[in-house]
Amino acid sequence: MTLKKFAIFIFVIGVLVWPGCSEKKAENIYETGQFEELQNNLDHARELYTDIIRKYPETDVAKKAAERLGAIDSIELSTTLSSQSSNNGGQTMQSQSSKYYSPFDQPEIIRFLFHPRKDTGAYEKTSALAMDIPVDDNVTIGAQMHISSPSSPTILFFHGNGEIVSDYGDLGPVYNQNGINFLVVDYRGYGRSTGSPTVSNMMNDAHAILKYARQWLTKENFSGPLIVMGRSLGSASALELAANCSDGFDGLIIESGFAYAIPLLNLLGANTDVLNIREKNEFDNIHKIKHFSKPTLVIHAEFDHIIPYTDGKALFDASPAPEKKLLKIPQADHNTIFSYGMNAYMNAVKDMVSSML
């Protein structure tokens, strides 16, 4: 082989191999960044992720690194607000929880927890009022307000992980017929919302959404009580608010809610041992509900195959509310709870909100 042909051969081999080398090098740095996050060394993790984006922008790992940078920003914002809350006697705009959710923001968990999809125009097929709720710089959350009357109770609803706001276009009028305003909100990346979902973002956004809802209701002269409701994944947002903003609303409804995150994550496919998720990193929903003593309703399907009925029962038992109710929907599973028990479901909701008028 001539020297010229050898040089060409080496060049071609280098071109073929180099992209794989870049991906591997980027992946090694990314894994180190993940370790640093778990050790709470966020500044070093930020440097590593930034290094990946700068040196290996063409790799898939660079996209993951960019997501982690966004998550770190969210974590630091939450810590700052929590510190401000402590310095001001707890009086801040959002009264953020100091709970640290970074371990749940790992891509391996996010892909199991969140299943975002965009809205395909269903907003135009309903008479509900469309909203864009600002939660961060250049980030808004899509929402729809189904209005019964300004004097009616209002439910602020956080949906499940595979749903979007427009999926509730038919259910909103059902609430209206029962004399209830129904405000359903998305997560980042869902429906018409911008941004990308992480657990830290979801928790922080819940505070911003509650604040926006209260301000909007006051501005528009809505006088009825405000109830926060969460279904499935949305129960985490609802219980985050129950633990940290109990003065900001009047009642709590948890439907198909989870008491313990680790069994749920393992069922969904995440290996919490490999990802170093421990009980101390829990969403801590059982502890959170103990902070809410206002009227509470827990609804759960008898044969829920994703979040077992025992989770709903555990949340109910942990609730200190003098006025509380547990409704079991016979024969239903996680996705058929409404079709099997629509009447009982809506009657329980209506009875609860009526008692608050």
User: How confident is the model at residue 89, as a pLDDT?
Assistant: 41
Q: Note whether 83 and 149 are same-domain residues.
A: no
Asked whether the CA dihedral 316, 317, 320, 324 is positive or negative, the reply is positive
Average pLDDT of the residues in 101-118: 90
What is the reported pLDDT for 74? 53
At 11, is the pLDDT very low, low, confident or very high (cuts 50, 70, 90)? very low
Do 138 and 262 share a domain, yes or no? yes
Same-domain check for residues 70 and 195: no
8 in helix, strand or coil?
helix
Chain segment 242-266, per-residue pLDDT in tens: 999 999 999 999 999 999 998 999 9
**Looking at the structure, do residues 80 and 115 belong to the same domain, yes or no?**
no
pLDDT confidence bin for 283, thresholds 50/70/90: confident
* Integer Cα distance of 273 and 266 in angstroms: 9
Q: Which domain holds residue 150?
A: 111-354
Among the residue ranges 70-74, 170-174, 281-285, the one predicted with the least confidence is 70-74
Q: Which residue has the higher pLDDT, 256 or 14?
A: 256
- Edge-to-edge strands, sheet with 154-158: 129-136, 139-146, 181-185, 154-158, 226-231, 251-255, 296-301, 324-329
Average pLDDT over residues 204-215: 96
149 in the same domain as 40: no
Q: What is the C-alpha separation between 226 and 211, in angstroms, rounded?
A: 12
State pLDDT tens for residues 141-158: 999 999 999 999 999 999
Residue at a domain's end among 59, 92, 125: 92
Same domain, 144 and 87: no
**Lowest-confidence region among 31-35, 199-203, 265-269:** 31-35
pLDDT digits (tens, 9 = 90+) for 30-41: 888 777 776 667
The stretch 94-122 carries a mean pLDDT of: 77
Model pLDDT, residue 296: 98
Q: In this structure, is residue 210 part of a structural domain?
A: yes
Same domain, 31 and 143: no
For residue 293, the model assigns a pLDDT of 97
121 within some domain: yes
Q: Are 193 and 141 a contacting pair, CB within 8 Å?
A: yes
Residue 100 lies in a domain: no
Q: Residues 102, 166, 264, 300: is their CA dihedral positive or negative?
A: positive
Dist. CA 74–CA 199, nearest whole Å: 10
Mean pLDDT of the chain: 85
Count how many Cα atoms sit within 13 Å of the Cα of residue 138 in the half-sphere of its side chain. 3
Q: How far is Cα 221 from Cα 203, in angstroms, rounded to an integer? A: 28
Q: What is the mean predicted confidence (pLDDT) over 230-246? A: 96
What the block records as the tokens of 180 is 């209830």
- Same domain, yes or no: 25 and 115: no
Can you give the pLDDT at residue 20? 60
**Domain annotation covers residue 99:** no
Q: Does residue 306 belong to any structural domain of this protein?
A: yes
Residue 97 forms part of a structural domain: no
**Higher per-residue pLDDT: 90 or 275:** 275
The pLDDT of residue 58: 75
Q: What is the pTM of this model?
A: 0.74
230 and 269 both lie in a single domain: yes
Q: Which of 58, 92, 126 is the last residue of a domain?
A: 92
- pLDDT greater than 70 at residue 95: no
Q: Which residues pair with 181 in a beta bridge?
A: 154
For residue 331, name the pLDDT band (cuts at 50, 70, 90).
very high
Residue 94: is its pLDDT beyond 60?
A: no
> What is the total count of domains within the chain?
2
Q: Residue holding tokens 């479901």?
A: 345
